[in-house]
Amino acid sequence: MLYLPVIVVHGGAGALPEELREIHARGCREAAFRGLEILLQGGSALDAVVEAVACLEDNPLFNAGTGASLDEEGHLSLDASVMEGSGLRAGGVCALPPFRNPIRIARAILEEGRHVLLAGEGAARFAVARGFEPADPASMITDSARRRLEEVLRGRADGHWPGGTVGAVARDAQGHLAAATSTGGTVGKAPGRVGDSPIPGAGTYADNASGAASATGEGEAILRVQLCRSACDLLLHGLEAPRAASQAIAHIGGRIKGRAGIILIDRNGQVGIAHNTETMSWAIARPGELKSGWRWEGSQP
């Protein structure tokens, strides 16, 4: 039996300035289209989400890969993870020094299967051993990232970047699910800080029995409620994807006043998108359909 493939991506939750909203939506649309092309060529959900997130990592508009946020010492420290739903395999990197596409290194960890999560210099050594080349930090740090850090250090802004964490979820023609998430984290974070994005169940989760999810927003809050696993558990309890996404966001907002967004897909290919921030850029791609936006309004995509 073949299933209708679908991929959903997000480009971060927050409050995007009006002049940036459409170009962020366009960036999500381009990433979703790339993922859909892979699915239509017979690629797996895992292939699709990794390529979609790599596309967003290469886009300096977003807080992932090139253009990602800087810690309080002005350094890049990158987090990413990927998970596939058939065998619950996962791989992630955290506090990774500059490499062009952290999500590809996360997938290499998944494929090796020895560990789930590698950090810092250990993650960097693994990457080099697998043929990934370290990047010149100057080639990945943008003027925009430097300005954002300066504003945070001077107390003119908080560390939350509305064009932030990126992620993707997909179902392939075999019915398998996968999720991927990548981020530079909070602007001006302490060296060594790790957010939700590389942690299975928090910022990324996939299980063929329930669904796949990727989160964005306040990492510490997302960690505390295990947002993505919680949303997928709601699917197991019979909620449809739109309601499960909305209820998961209502819980993080009501329980600990966390600000977040989530994209969710269930095993039937139904999509849920929810956020309690002013904006969250997103895109959905299915055969014959490609749509995007910067705010989700409505109960069912």
**What are the DSSP E strand ranges found in 175-242?**
177-183, 204-206, 211-217
Contact status, residue 214 vs residue 10, Cβ threshold 8 Å: yes
Known catalytic residue at 165: yes
Q: What burial class does residue 140 get, using C-beta atoms within 10 Å of its C-beta: 0-12 exposed, 13-18 middle, 19+ buried? A: buried
Neighbours of 102 (CB within 10 A): 32
The maximal CA–CA distance of the chain, rounded, in angstroms, is: 58
Tokens of 191: 């060296």
Cα–Cα dist 123/91, whole Å: 11
Q: Where are the alpha helices (DSSP H) in the chain?
A: 18-40, 45-57, 102-112, 120-129, 137-140, 143-153, 219-225, 227-236, 241-256
Q: Among residues 165, 181, 186, 277, which one is catalytic?
A: 165
Q: Which residues contact 140 (CB under 8 A, 6 or more apart)?
A: 65, 66, 67, 68, 76, 98, 100
189 DSSP 8-state letter: P
Where residue 280 falls (left for φ over 0; alpha for ψ -120 to 50; beta otherwise) is beta
Cα–Cα dist 258/246, whole Å: 14
Phi and psi, residue 190, nearest 5°? -70, 145
Could you give the residue numbers annotated as active site? 165
